[in-house]
Amino acid sequence: MPIGVVLAEDNYLVREGVRQLIEAQEGIELLATCSDLPSLEKAVAEHHPDVVLTDIRMPPNHRDEGLVVADRLRDTAPGTGVVVLSQFAEPEYALSLLERGAAGRAYLLKERVSDVTQLVTAIREVAAGGSVIDPAVVELLVAARTRARQSPLQQLTARESEVLQLIAEGRNNAAIAAALFLTERAVEKHINAIFSKLGLSEEPDVHRRVKAALAYLSETGPAPAR
């Protein structure tokens, strides 16, 4: 039996180009084409495709509609594969797509769509429960992990990391001491060690706290509320 595919892409030219590529392939049947999230959800419910080939950003909000569908299908149709197409190499979207597992998921750049072999391979792979990630995205993920390993934050002890997190939350020394059950003197020692390891020893105190907080937030995102 052919692999049934539902295609979702709001750009008419891209959608038509991909449609023609798919319809020319043996063993793959295009069941429906869609231009927005509601029509995609309707097509999936009606046709029960083996694979959904979808853009990440579509109407109505042009945010992450494709990822939303991919996540929902984990629960409603776990056997349905999803190939997500993105205009840019965005590692955070790839990580979101794979958050609940890589099986049956692919992330390709739109620029690869003209390579029919790669597109068809991704469709067949996710239909069989496999996974495909665009090499350009893999390179960015590896580079990000390498930067993280080389980060000065990796030099901090567990306690120093806790202190830095509280600095990033805007706590003063007294509040940090109370939160971690330390003396203010101990907090000062930890902060001085943090400044030294981050190479901030020559900066004024206020600037050092701000730069240390920015260094923390740049790698971890906003500090969680306590």
Instruction: Give percent of the chain with pLDDT exceeding 90.
Output: 55
Rg over alpha carbons for the chain, rounded to the nearest Å, is 24
Partners of residue 107 on adjacent β-strands: 84, 133
51: left (phi over 0), alpha (psi -120 to 50) or beta: beta
Four-point Cα dihedral 18, 21, 27, 29, nearest 10: 40
Please tell me the pTM assigned to this model: 0.64
Q: In the prediction, which pLDDT does 144 show?
A: 62
- pLDDT tens digits, one per residue of 160-214: 999 999 988 888 999 999 999 999 999 999 999 998 888 887 666 667 888 888 7
19-47 pLDDT tens trace: 999 999 999 999 999 999 999 999 999 99
The pLDDT score that the predictor gives to residue 142 is 65
Domains of the chain listed by start with CATH number: 3-144 (3.40.50.2300), 152-220 (1.10.10.10)
Q: Does position 138 have pLDDT exceeding 90, yes or no? A: no
Which residues have a Cβ under 8 Å from the Cβ of 48 and sit 6 or more positions away? 4, 77, 80
Cα distance between residue 190 and residue 192, in whole Å: 5
